[in-house]
Amino acid sequence: MYDYDLLVVGSANADLVIGVERRPGAGETVLGSDLAVHPGGKGANQAVAAARLGARTALLARVGDDTHGRLLLDAQRASGVDTVGVLVGGAPTGVALITVDPSGDNSIVVSPGANARLTPGDVRAAASLFQASRVVSAQLEIPLETVVETVRNLAEGSRFVLNPSPPRPLPTEVLAACDPLIVNEHEAKVILGDSAVGGSPEDRARILLAKGPRSVVVTLGAEGALVASAQGVTRVAPVKVDAVDTTGAGDAFTAALAWRLGRGAALTEAAAYAARVGAVAVTREGAQASFPTAAEVEAL
Ligand code: ADP
């Protein structure tokens, strides 16, 4: 019997957002809009997305002993995430400094802060959380060695889901544990390197699968997704919505898919559900603020 449907191992950031008419050049100062501070980071986003759907969710992450850390902890608890695994201190909370121009384009500077101090030792010390979790998910906004330690600490019979974002080449040991590896087209290209040149998304899904994951999901934004496993490659139909803000869509998709898999859904079924969750998320502004409840997904 598992206490948690999902354990998310990953990052938590404060997103500091300022709207600007144009970005400053070197040595220049420009005035911007009022500052908006939002809880973010891919780990924290996945945990909130899963909990809002009704998953029993825990987060293993590190924040600073500061205002941003408290904001992140409050946001997790308000969504029903168990924060027993959120470590506090060691460095300031991770921050993303985001400027948005009138065309909607972002420029982002990330200070990983406490995320960079989530260590393999922290993973080993959380053994009881791993034993209690049916599915474990991770991303790459924490040190790669911490993700390696995560796959080494999976409980017998639990399942591992990875969204390798921001993307970098992955060790064979991590790839082999993924069931599935979830990538968008950009992430697929970085992970495949030269072997991704040319070809269709289906081709890339097959080549990714040949690298060792037990299954692969390629997300295609408004075009839906692809699922690749030993049974072949299947398309997940897109859900037609009017998108206003795609921030966090991939995080909501990953969390929803991980939760449905843990509840016994087949991979294609779980991906179809996740596509509906992603579709609702893009109809609303923001990341965590845009994630739907299960009832809202049903109503779509
Ligand atoms: P990421 O945010 O990682 O780049 P995607 O943009 O591919 O990921 O989005 C993840 C999933 O969210 C997609 O596979 C799709 O199911 C859903 N989604 C994203 N954008 C849209 C959209 N414009 N319309 C409908 N669904 C979308």
Confidence of residue 193 (pLDDT cuts 50, 70, 90): confident
- Distance in angstroms (rounded) separating the CA atoms of residues 15 and 11: 12
Asked whether residue 79 is domain-assigned, the answer is yes
Q: Which stretch of 121-130, 194-203, 258-267 has the lowest confidence by average pLDDT?
A: 194-203
Residue of minimum CA distance from atom 7 in ligand 1: 221
242 is catalytic: no
Asked whether residue 30 is domain-assigned, the answer is no
Nearest by Cα to 47 from 2, 94, 82: 82
Asked whether residue 193 is domain-assigned, the answer is yes
Residue of minimum CA distance from atom 5 in ligand 1: 221
Q: How far is the CA of 226 from the centre of ligand 1 (A)?
A: 12
Q: How far is the CA of 246 from the centre of ligand 1 (A)?
A: 7
Let me know: does 91 contact 67? Beta carbons within 8 Å: no
Q: How far is the CA of 124 from the centre of ligand 1 (A)?
A: 34
Nearest by Cα to 32 from 17, 23, 15, 20: 20
Q: Kindly state the average pLDDT of the residues 20-45.
A: 97
Confidence of residue 120 (pLDDT cuts 50, 70, 90): very high
Extract the tokens encoding 121: 């030792």
| Domain assignment of residue 290, given as a range | 4-21+35-299
Return binding residues for ATP: 184, 219-224, 250-251
Q: Kindly state the average pLDDT of the residues 240-253.
A: 95
Residue 79 phi/psi, 5-degree rounding, is: -90, -5
pLDDT, tens only, 66-114: 999 999 999 999 999 999 999 999 999 999 999 999 998 889 999 999 9
Residue of minimum CA distance from atom 6 in ligand 1: 221
Give the pLDDT score at 257.
98
- Distance in angstroms (rounded) separating the CA atoms of residues 5 and 17: 32
For ligand 1, mutation pick of 282, 283, 284 (most atoms within 8 Å of CB): 282
Nearest by Cα to 204 from 188, 221, 181: 188
Residue 83 phi/psi, 5-degree rounding, is: -100, 20
The domain spanning residue 233 has which CATH number? Answer: 3.40.1190.20
Confidence of residue 267 (pLDDT cuts 50, 70, 90): very high
Return binding residues for substrate: 13-15, 41-45, 141, 251
Residue of minimum CA distance from atom 17 in ligand 1: 278
Question: Quick one: what percent of the chain has pLDDT higher than 90?
Answer: 95
Asked whether residue 27 is domain-assigned, the answer is no
Secondary structure string (H, E, C) spanning 85-146? CEEECCCCCEEEEEEECCCCCEEEEEECHHHHHCCHHHHHHCHHHHHCEEEEEECCCCCHHH
Asked whether residue 132 is domain-assigned, the answer is yes
For ligand 1, mutation pick of 184, 185, 247, 277 (most atoms within 8 Å of CB): 184
- Answer yes or no: is pLDDT of 276 > 90: yes
Return binding residues: 13-15, 41-45, 141, 184, 219-224, 245, 247, 250-251, 281, 284, 286, 290
- Answer yes or no: is pLDDT of 227 > 70: yes
Q: Kindly state the average pLDDT of the residues 222-246.
A: 95
Asked whether residue 263 is domain-assigned, the answer is yes
The tally of domains found in the chain comes to 1
Beta strands in 237-279 (DSSP E): none
Residue of minimum CA distance from atom 1 in ligand 1: 250
pTM: 0.96
Give the pLDDT score at 198.
76
Q: Which residues line ligand 1 (CB under 6 A)?
A: 184, 219-222, 224-225, 238-239, 241, 243, 246, 249-250, 253, 275, 278-279, 282
Give the pLDDT score at 196.
65
Which amino acid is present at 111? S
Asked whether residue 133 is domain-assigned, the answer is yes
Asked whether residue 28 is domain-assigned, the answer is no
Q: How far is the CA of 96 from the centre of ligand 1 (A)?
A: 21
